[in-house]
Amino acid sequence: MRWLRPLAITALCASIAACSTSPTGRSQLLLLSDAELNAMGRQAFSQYQQELPTAGQASHRYVQCIADAIVAELPAEQRQLDWQIRVFESEQPNAFALPGGYMGVNTGMLDIATNQDQLASVVGHEIGHVLANHANERASTESATSLGLSVISSTSGMQSAGGQQLMGVLGMGAQYGIVLPFSRAHESEADVIGLDLMAQAGFDPRESVTLWENMQAATGGGGAPPAWMSTHPGQGQRIEGLQGNMDQALARYEQARSSGRMPNCPRP
């Protein structure tokens, strides 16, 4: 039955003109409005901040410095989103980004990303999910094929079961215990976008591969894989994908450095 899904999306794309093209050229079904999604992102973000303990000022300054350097390189239209980033106190090496530009990084991720360039690859990847409208695409696809369009059209009932499910699909469901992994296609796309962004901001793109090696090493003890990794399947392929785009990223990086973009974000 798996072939039914792309078929259904193609049919919808042809009939309702809600199709868009992702930054890497995939066609996407986007049914929700940006305004609607961004408002939901903002709401979920303020909820996260109420429910989870945030880390101290030093960690916050460090992560903010990296995010600022990357956001400064975005096209004007995307730069104007309400980009915000917070560090949450949690050993789980996790990071997320919500529609609207609301991002979080756990202190556990700061232990695995051992320098500014590695952390920039995490932040770049998360920004990539936002730029490519992955939450909208996933919710639209789910709705088109299973949830039913009625869920999407009722924004009032976010506390209802359907609303909570929608929040989960959008990647905002942590507080409800519903977090769905992005697809492999979304992960690869966020990797490619993130790699380019970090390089353009003057962070060393080769460190993205080191981050994955650190992730792998962190699971060497046979424990449960870090959440960020377990929701990001296919590690070997991920590194290959990064390597495949490395020449282009290195060229961007050299260009950024020679233009004076040399971010210096001291690690606390």
Find the shortest distance in angstroms from Cβ 126 to Zn ion.
Answer: 7
Find the shortest distance in angstroms from Cβ 255 to Zn ion.
Answer: 26
Find the shortest distance in angstroms from Cβ 112 to Zn ion.
Answer: 15
CA distance 139 to 145: 10
Q: Which is nearer to Zn ion, 139 or 190 (CB)?
A: 190
- Integer-rounded Cα radius of gyration of the chain: 18
Catalytic site includes residue 187? no
| 3 state SS of 261 | coil
CA distance 10 to 23: 19
Q: Which is nearer to Zn ion, 12 or 197 (CB)?
A: 197
Find the shortest distance in angstroms from Cβ 96 to Zn ion.
Answer: 8
* Identity of the amino acid at 76: A
CA distance 33 to 133: 11
CA distance 227 to 225: 6
Q: Which is nearer to Zn ion, 86 or 138 (CB)?
A: 138
Residues 6 or more apart in contact with residue 39 via CB below 8 angstroms: 100
Q: Which is nearer to Zn ion, 190 or 201 (CB)?
A: 190
Tell me which residues touch Zn ion (CB under 5 A): 190
Find the shortest distance in angstroms from Cβ 190 to Zn ion.
Answer: 5
Q: Which is nearer to Zn ion, 188 or 256 (CB)?
A: 188
The count of residues in the chain is: 268
In this structure, are residues 249 and 194 in contact, taking their beta carbons and an 8 Å threshold? no
In this structure, are residues 174 and 230 in contact, taking their beta carbons and an 8 Å threshold? no
- Catalytic choice (126, 137, 187, 207): 126
Task: Point out the residue whose Cβ comes nearest to Zn ion.
Answer: 190
* Structure-token pair, residue 35: 């305004």
Which are the catalytic amino acids?
Answer: 126
